[in-house]
Amino acid sequence: MEALAVRLSGLDPYVDGVIRVVAFYDTLMRRRVDLPALARASAGLAECVAGIQLHGTGRAIRVSPDGRHASTPPTPPSTTAPITLDEEEIGTVWLERPGPPNQLDEALLDRLAIAAAAIAERYGPARTTMADPALVELAISTDSDEASRARALRLLGFAADLPVHVIAVRSQLPLDQIGSLVCPTRPVKAAPLADVGVVLATTIDQTRFPAGVRAGIGAAASPDQSWQQARTALRFTTPRQPLIPYDDLGALALLAEIPQDAARDNADVAAIARIADNPEDLQTLDAYCATGSLRQAADLLHLHHSSIARRLEHLAKSLGIDLTAPTGLTRTRLALTTWRLLNDSGQNRG
C-alpha cells in the first residue's frame, strides 16, 4: 500500500494528480479495507491528519500521516466533505492541513467520502436513518407473525436482544434529522407511513426533540405494541405538551378507548365543543386546566389575573361547571382532553 501512496505535493500537472488519486482509492476499495485503514491511507497520501465520522456512531477516526491515531487536539478542518448514502448525509470526512488547502485536497476528499459510504454500506446494515416503509410496517404491524417481525427488525439493523421503542411523529422536519437527533449513537430507523412518521430507536433522548415536533413514544415492548402506544400518545399531544411518552399517560390512556359516539354524547364534552370555535376561550380554558391556578394561567397567557378571572367566570356559565371546585376542574380537564381526541384528524388541534 505504501508504494501506492504518491505524495500529493509532488503531483504535477493537476489532471495527472487527480487520476492518481482516483486510482489510489480504487485500489483501496478492491482490497476491501475498513474505515480505520481507509483513514490511515488517506492521511499518508495527504501528508496531514485525516478524519472520518459517521453520524450513526458518533465516533471520530483521526489519523496522523505516520498511520497512528492522532493524539493532538483536533484543529479546525482545512477541507471537509459529506459522506452520502441513498441521498442522505450519513457522516463527514475532513483534512486538518496546516495552512491553506492543497490543490488536490478536494479531489482526495471526494474519493474518500465515496469510499467511506461504500464501506459503511458493506459492513453491517446501512448507516442511513431512512428505511424502506414496507419493512418498517412489517416490523410494527399487528398482522405480522413473530418470525416475520424478527426478520424485518434484523434487516433494519436491530439486534435480537435490543429493546426497540417506536415513536409516532408529526413534523415538517425531515424524519432522518429527528431520528439522528433523539438517538445519535445507537441504531435508529425512520419511515413515513400514511399520515404519520415512524421512528424506531433503541434509546431515546427526550431532551433532543427539536421545536415544532409532535411525538408519542411507545414503551420498549414488542414493536407492534409499542407502535399502538405511540399512536395513542401522539393523539394526546398539544402545542403546550408536544412530547408524550405513553407510560406517562397512565389512566388517561383509557380515554382513547371510549367509543366516539359515547364521547360526543357526553354533556361535558358537548359543552367544550360549543365553546371551541372561540380561540380565546379555548386558550384560557387550556391554560387553567394545565395549571389549576388562576394566576399561573394568567402568567402563561401574559394577561392580568383579573382578565383571566372574568373569562373563567364566563366559561363556567357556558359550560355549566363550577371551575373553582376540584371536581369541576377534573371534569373540565377530562372533557377537554376527550374533545381533543375526538378532533384528532391527523393534525392534533390545539
Tens-place pLDDT, residues 208-254: 999 999 999 999 879 999 999 999 999 999 988 999 999 999 999 99
Residues 84 and 167 in one domain: no
State whether 152 and 237 are in the same domain: yes
Cβ(133)–Cβ(200) under 8 Å? no
Q: What is the average pLDDT across 299-303? A: 90
Contact 318, 271 (CB under 8 A): yes
Residue 350 pLDDT > 50 = no
Longest dimension (CA), the chain: 88
Residues 262 and 181 both lie in one domain: no
Are 325 and 225 contained in the same domain? no
CB count in 10 Å sphere of residue 220:
18
Domain shared by 287 and 334, yes or no: yes
Please tell me the predicted confidence (pLDDT) of residue 158. 84
**Under 8 Å between Cβ of 308 and 288:** yes
The strand order across the sheet containing 60-63 reads 60-63, 49-54, 88-96, 79-85
Beta carbons within 8 Å of 32's beta carbon, 6+ residues apart? 122
Paired strand residues for 53? 60, 92
Task: Indicate the number of domains in the chain.
Answer: 3
Residue 348 lies in a domain: no
Q: What is the pLDDT of residue 127?
A: 56
Distance CA 21, CA 152 (A): 40
Q: Looking at the structure, do residues 58 and 150 belong to the same domain, yes or no?
A: no
As a three-state string, the secondary structure of 100-111 is CCCCCHHHHHHH
Please report the DSSP string for 140-199 in residue order: H-TTS-HHHHHHHHHHHT--TTS--EEEEEE-SS-HHHHHHHHSSSS-EEEEEETTEEEE
> Which of 90, 122, 154 corresponds to the end of one domain?
122
Burial of 20 (0-12, 13-18, 19+ CB in 10 A): middle
- Name the pLDDT band for 1 (thresholds 50, 70, 90): very low
What average pLDDT is seen over the chain? Answer: 87
Question: Is 50 exceeded by the pLDDT of residue 6?
Answer: no
For residue 73, what pLDDT band results from cuts at 50, 70 and 90?
confident
Do 298 and 304 meet the contact criterion of CB atoms below 8 Å apart?
yes
- DSSP three-state, residue 277: coil
> pLDDT grade, residue 4 (50/70/90)?
very low
- Same domain as 101, residue 114: yes
pLDDT in tens, 162-199: 789 999 999 999 998 899 899 887 788 999 998 899 99
Strands (E), the chain: 49-54, 60-63, 79-85, 88-96, 165-170, 188-193, 196-201, 214-217, 243-245
Phi-psi region of 87 (alpha: psi -120 to 50; beta: other; left: phi over 0): left
pLDDT at 38: 94
- Answer with the one of 61, 91, 122 that is the final residue of a domain: 122
pLDDT in tens, 108-146: 999 999 999 888 777 644 556 888 898 899 999 999 998
* Residue 304 domain flag: yes
Q: What is the CATH number of the domain that holds 338?
A: 1.10.10.2840
Does 99 share its domain with 151?
A: no
Q: Are residues 102 and 10 in the same domain?
A: yes
**Whether the Cβ atoms of residue 35 and residue 119 lie closer than 8 Å to each other:** yes
Q: Does 349 map to a domain?
A: no
In this prediction, residue 337 carries a pLDDT of 95
Q: Are residues 283 and 302 in the same domain?
A: yes
Domain range for 165 is 133-255
- 89 in the same domain as 70: yes
Domain termination site, one of 255, 280, 312: 255
Same domain, yes or no: 118 and 193? no
The predicted model scores a pTM of 0.64
Measured CA to CA, the distance from residue 164 to residue 187 in angstroms comes to 9
Query: Does residue 127 belong to any structural domain of this protein?
Result: no
Predicted local confidence at residue 13, as pLDDT: 65
